[in-house]
């Protein structure tokens, strides 16, 4: 009886994470389509406006510049 209780407990603990990964389905799917189109247009406008506010950089950005040593014109590689 003790072994049966342990097996049932282990199986229950294994099923809970699998059940959580299944996700939620069909909760208000019909109503959200109307709201999505309106909010999508607003989000697109806000995104484009934010992109226009970003200033253009005057110098080229080198993301790997920190890892490279400074170029020394006196030394030439072989």
What CA–CA distance (Å, rounded) separates 6 from 53? 62
Cβ partners under 8 Å of residue 10, min gap 6: none
* Residue 43 reports pLDDT greater than 60: yes
* Residue 57 reports pLDDT greater than 70: yes
Which pLDDT belongs to residue 65? 80
pTM over 0.85: no
Q: Each residue of 36-46: b (16+ CB within 10 Å) or e? A: eeeeeeeeeee
Please name the residue that has the structure tokens 């019909």.
30
């Amino acid at each position: 009886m003790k072994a049966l209780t342990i097996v049932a407990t282990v199986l229950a603990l294994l099923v809970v994470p699998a059940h959580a990964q299944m996700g939620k389905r069909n909760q208000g799917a019909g109503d959200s389509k109307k709201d999505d189109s309106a909010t999508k247009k607003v989000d697109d406008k806000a995104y484009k406006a934010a992109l226009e506010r970003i200033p253009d950089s005057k110098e080229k950005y080198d993301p790997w510049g920190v890892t490279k040593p400074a170029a020394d014109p006196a030394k030439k590689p072989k």
